[in-house]
Structures are given as C-alpha cells and as structure tokens.
Amino acid sequence: MTASSATDGILERRNAANPPSSVSLSARRTATGPATGKCPGLGLASALLCLSSLGWIAQAAMLAMGVGAISRGGGVSDVAAPAAVVAAIGVLRAGLDAAGGRLAFRAARRELSTRRAAAAAALALRSPLDSGRPASGLAASVLGEQAEAVVPYLARFRPARMKASTVPLVMLVCIVPISWLAGLILVLCAPLIPVFMALIGWRAKAASEEQLAETGGINAFLLDRLRGLATIRALDAVDATALRLRGDADSLRLRTMAVLKIAFLSSAVLEFFAALGVAATAVYVGFSLLGSVEIGTWEGNLTLTQGLFILLLAPAFFEPLRELSAVWHDRANGEAALSALAELASSHQTILGGVDSQPFTAAGHASVEISGLVFRHGPEREAVIDHFDLSIGPGEHVALWGASGSGKTTLLSLMAGLARHDTGVIRIGGIPLRDDTVDGLRRRMAWIGQSPHVFAASVTRNIALGRVGIDGEAVAAALAGVDLDRVFTPERASAVGEGGLGLSGGEALRLALARMMADERADIILADEPTAHLDAQTAAAVTDALLALAEGRVLIVATHDPVLAARMHRIVRLEGQAPRAAA
Ligand SMILES: Nc1ncnc2c1ncn2[C@@H]1O[C@H](COP(=O)(O)OP(=O)(O)OP(=O)(O)O)[C@@H](O)[C@H]1O
C-alpha cells in the first residue's frame, strides 16, 4: 500500500459532502456489464438514419416515374407531382439525417460519460492494498484519452452497421421484382466488398497495433529521458539519446506510412468493387433497354422507368457498405476502449463504502475498539492480522510496533476501512465500521503516510484540498501550527511542484500535518511511519508537530522509530520486540 494513495483516498472521501453512493453502485453495475452492451437512444438514432437512407428509394421511384412520363410525352402536370414528392422527401431526409446524427452523438457521449463515471467510481473504491490496481498513468490514459474512441464507435460505426445490414436488403427487395438479373449482379458484387475489406482489415489491424505500440514506446522513452535529463547531461549521453530518438521517430514514420498504405489500398478495393457493381448493372440495363438482352426480367424487357429506377438504386445499394468501411477502424478502437473501461471498472479488492445508505455524522467520544480481527490478502494467503484485539480510549496515543511485514500498515488501513477484513469487528466511537457507516466514520479520521502526495498547485490548495469551509485563514493557522509559515512566505506561496518538488521530506510531512490541522473534525489520527527516512532533527520537529496536533485526539502511529514510540502513551506490539527507547 502506498501512503500517498491512502492519503488521497481518505482525504478525497472526506471532501465529499454527500458520498456518491448511488453513482458508485450503478457504476459497478455498468462495470460488470459487457464491453459492447446496449446504448440507450442509439437504436432510435440508427433507425432514423436508416429511414433517411431508405427515403432515397422513394425519391428514385419518383424521379424514374417523372422521366418516364416525359419520355411518353407527358406535360408539366405529370412531372410536377413526382418533383414535389422528391423535394419533400429530400427535406424529410435532411431532417432525419440531422436528428439521427445528433441523437447518435448525444447517446454516445452519454454512454461514454456513464462508463467513465463507472470506471472512475470503481477505481476510487479499489483498496490501496490491492496489488492488482492499475498504474495511475494507465488509468489516466484509459479514462482521458483512450475512452474518447467510444464516441465515434457508437455514434458512427453502430448506425453504419445497422444501415449496411438493412438498406441494401430493402433495395434488393425493390429491385428483384423488376429484374432478378440486376438483383443478382448486385448480390454477387456486394459480398466481395466485405470479404476483401476483412482480408485487408486483418493486415490493417496488425499494422495499426504495431504503430500504436511504437507510439507508446516513443512516449515512454521521451518521458523517461525528460525525467532523466540531468543524468543524461551528466553522463554526456545527449548525442546518443538524440540519435536513439531519431531512430525511433524514423521507425514510427515507417509504421505510420504502412498503416496509411493499407488505408489507401482498402478504399481503392472498395471503390473498385462498388464501381464494378454499378457498371455491370448499367451495362445490363442499357442493353436491356436497347433490346439486345432479353433475359433478367420476369416479363418482357425493362421499361425506361424501371431501368432508371434500378440505375438510381445501384450506387445507393453500395453506399451503406462504403460508409461502413469508412468507419471500420472506429470499431477496433472503440471496442478496445470499452474493454479497457470495463476492466478498470471491474470489481476487485475494494474499500468499505459505496453503498446506498443514509449519510450520517459520527458523534461522541473518539475511540477505537478491535475484536477478533482477521485479514488475509487473498483466500489462499496466510492471515496478516490473526484474531487481533485492541482497545484505544479517547485521547490516547498508541504506537504500533513490530518488525517490517508484521502488518502495521495493514492494520491502520483496516481501521480506516481501506480494505475489507475477513472476520472480527472494528468499532469507531462505538459504531461498527461497515459499508453503511464508513463514510460518516471516515470524516472523523485523518491519515498521514510516509510520503504524502503533494501536487503542483498553491500551498493553499494543497492544504485545503477543496474541502468546504477551509479558507485562507484556516490554512494560515494550520501552516503556523506546523511551523511552516516561515517556509511558505507570500513569495513562495505558489511554488510547490508535483510530488512535493521544492520541498524537503520533512516539509512535505509537515504540510500533510497542516492538512489535518485545517480540519477540526478529525479526532482520530492514523499515521504510518511519519518519521521514516528523516534525520533525527527533522524527525523530532515532525514528532513535536504531530503530538501538538494530536493533543486530546486519538493518535495511532505505526513506527520503527523508538523515539517517537517512547513519546506515545502506550506501545502495542504486533510482534514481541520492545523498542529500546521505550523498554
Ligand atoms: N497488496 C498486498 N498484497 C499482498 N500482500 C501484501 C500487500 N501489502 C502488504 N502485503 C504483505 O502483508 C504483510 C504486512 O504488510 P504491511 O505493509 O502491513 O507490514 P508493515 O508492518 O507495515 O511493514 P513495514 O514496517 O515494512 O512498513 C507483509 O508480509 C506484506 O508482504
């Protein structure tokens, strides 16, 4: 478990005025659903877009009837009605297209937001003790960047797939009663497109995966080298690094060109077969109208109206297939993004909480009582905490003492509800720590780890953490309380970098203490080795600040520091080894 993640977990949860329990639950429900599940609203959008494409059949029929009437010597009155219908259907189709596209986009964005919220909520519920937690960089990349691929997949690919599976069929149903041969030509040409597209698609998928891997590799390389810029300069490896970067960039360029080549090839294949199908239909219709071909119809030769109708429908027959091919690459990306989101959202080892329960505020004396506590990291693992009992009264300061690996951090995490114990009961202020009580109980807890996370923002924001009611005055008082007011003068107030850049280890720890101090509700302080890795003088300063802060509150410290342990009221041994200073 990392102290910083635990800190984030507790502090973020304490920020929430109303815990988003229902969001978390629905999130988890979506999480376990299939990666390519239903998307409400998309069916209607796809149906509207299909209807718009089918409108062309009616328009083609009207156009063919109009031209047929002219060829038979009809007047303006014979043409006016079909022309009006063509115009009306055109307007209707434009409306359907606009409405369908809009609905599809909205449905896709809504679905993406739901799945993102699901994944984020499930991530927030994952225990810091879960060693299978995804790396934060990966989670951020999936949630922020990769997830965007869901929108084109749902908004473009799904409607295109529905169109491709319905519109050509309906057109065939309209053409075959007029000419079975024209229908046959279209039927023979149409499958060639998906077959060749699939063949090319396999190669394209492999090429784009290689390209993605190369892009990922170059990103990681760049990030790594940027972090180690000083080392690179110190080792005089600037030229070698630049050469390697150039080599990687060249390789990426070649792979990108390979993907582009395949993309061009696939569109050429598609256009070729579509053109072939239309041309073959046109040749047949032409010869049939000339009377040179007398087969292919159910009765007699084709009339001009019939021939024109078939000719107008032929390109539209291939249109949905072309559209589908154009958005084919959205499918792989979209499905990969949905799977990645579903994986993030799938339930693993979780913290307590996230259930629909009445929010409550814990009151009364702060105390911690543990009885018969058992915890193991997995069903097959040995118990880390085995039938453990502990009772800590109001205002008591306790050191958890034990060899490395004896379970001190685990025990603190269990007290904060950051992992689910197997059996036993933990009572905070007499209230059992459960899913429905943990949110209220956590509000009275504060956590400090060995390396608290300090983010790139002003000191004020780093201390207030967005919590309601913590203003500049409270922050200033907290800074003075931990003796940091001399470090953060007004000129340095915004000088904190990511990961505490610009702060010493001791200053970062005192900043974490100031976070606690700023929130007076916290009357149970859980500290995980707060003086680890500090020199004696800094450790003493942190200890003094911690003890001053813990005055009148419950303080539980996991520590290897005999000086800190000696200043506690009591030492609880997780393994029988007394600290020298306390013995
Ligand atoms: N996420 C995890 N998955 C599996 N085992 C774990 C995990 N975290 C800790 N452990 C194991 O649980 C045991 C207790 O670990 P814990 O971190 O609580 O010990 P600790 O007493 O705090 O150690 P230290 O003093 O070194 O910080 C160790 O044997 C450790 O290997």
Determine what percent of the chain is predicted with pLDDT higher than 70.
86
Show Cβ contacts of residue 356 under 8 Å, excluding neighbours closer than 6 positions: 21, 22, 25
Reported ipTM: the value is 0.96
179-301, superfamily in CATH? ABC transporter type 1, transmembrane domain (1.20.1560.10)
Q: For residue 381, how far is its CA from the centre of ligand 1 (angstroms)?
A: 12
Query: Ligand 1 pocket: which residues have CB below 6 Å?
Result: 1, 129, 131, 377, 384, 402, 404-410, 558
Q: Is the pLDDT of residue 402 over 80?
A: yes
Nearest residue (by CA) to ligand 1, atom 30, is: 405
Q: Decide if pLDDT at 579 tops 70.
A: no
> Is 260's pLDDT higher than 50?
yes
CA of 561 to the centre of ligand 1 (A): 18
Q: What is the DSSP letter of 303?
A: P
Q: Name the nearest CA neighbour of 528 among 572, 559, 573, 562.
A: 559
What's the pLDDT score for residue 95?
96
Atom 7 in ligand 1: which residue has the minimum CA distance? 129
Local confidence band at 392 (pLDDT 50, 70, 90 cut-offs): very high
Q: How far is the CA of 410 from the centre of ligand 1 (A)?
A: 6
Please report where in the chains the tokens 């034990």 appear, as a residue.
402
Give distance in angstroms: CA of 557 to centre of ligand 1. 16
Instruction: Point out the ligand 1 atom lying closest to the alpha carbon of residue 411.
Output: 18
Pocket test for ligand 1, best of 5, 129, 377 (most atoms within 8 A of CB): 377
Q: What is the CA radius of gyration of the chain?
A: 35
C-alpha 408 to ligand 1 mean position (Å):
8
Ligand 1 atom index nearest CA of 131:
1
Q: What is the pLDDT of the chain when averaged over all its residues?
A: 81
Whole-structure pTM value: 0.69
Residue 399 pLDDT > 90, yes or no?
Answer: yes
- The predicted pLDDT at position 484 comes to 78
Q: Which of 1, 374, 388, 409 to mutate to test the pocket of ligand 1 (most atoms within 8 A of CB)?
A: 409
**293-337 residue pLDDT tens:** 778 778 777 888 999 999 999 999 988 888 887 787 777 778 888
For residue 222, CA distances in Å to 217, 245, 568 come to: 9, 8, 48
Kind and range of the H or E element at 556? strand 554-559
Residue 72, SS3 per DSSP: coil
Is CATH 3.40.50.300 correct for 368-573?
Answer: yes
Mean pLDDT of all residues in 143-151? 86
Distance of CA 567 to the CA centre of its chain: 46
What is the structure's pLDDT at 28?
Answer: 42
Residue 525: HSE in the Cβ half-sphere, 13 Å Cα cutoff: 31
* Ligand 1 atom closest to Cα of residue 130: 1
The pLDDT tens digits of the residues spanning 48-70 come to 999 999 999 999 999 999 998 88
**Residue ID of nearest Cα to ligand 1 atom 26:** 404
From 168-177, 208-217, 369-378, 410-419, the region with the lowest mean pLDDT: 208-217
How many helices (H) and strands (E) the chain has is answered by: 20, 9
Residue 492 is predicted with a pLDDT of: 61
Q: Give the C-alpha distances (Å, rounded to integers) separating 451 from 409, 415, 503, 508.
A: 13, 20, 12, 8
pLDDT tens digits, 420-432: 999 999 999 999 9
- The average pLDDT across 265-276 equals 79
pLDDT digits (tens, 9 = 90+) for 549-560: 888 899 999 999
Predicted local distance difference test score (pLDDT) of residue 410: 92
State which H helix or E strand residue 424 sits in. strand 423-428
- Among 27-41, 51-65, 243-257, the range with the most confident prediction by mean pLDDT is 51-65
pLDDT in tens, 11-24: 333 333 333 333 33
Q: What are 185-224's pLDDT values in tens digits? A: 888 887 777 676 666 666 666 776 676 667 767 777 777 7
Residue 540: the pLDDT is: 87
Q: What is the mean pLDDT of residues 412-420?
A: 92
Measured from the CA of 413, which atom of ligand 1 is nearest? 18
Of all residues in the chain, what percent carry a pLDDT higher than 90?
28
Question: Which 8-state DSSP code applies to residue 297?
Answer: B
- Ligand 1: centre distance to CA 375 (Å): 12
User: Alpha carbon of 352 to those of 87, 422, 442: distances in Å?
Assistant: 63, 12, 10
List the chain domain ranges.
Answer: 21-165+330-351, 179-301, 368-573
Contact in structure between 287 and 148 (CB atoms under 8 Å): no
> Pick the residue with more confidence: 582 or 156?
156
Protein residue with its CA nearest to atom 31 in ligand 1: 405
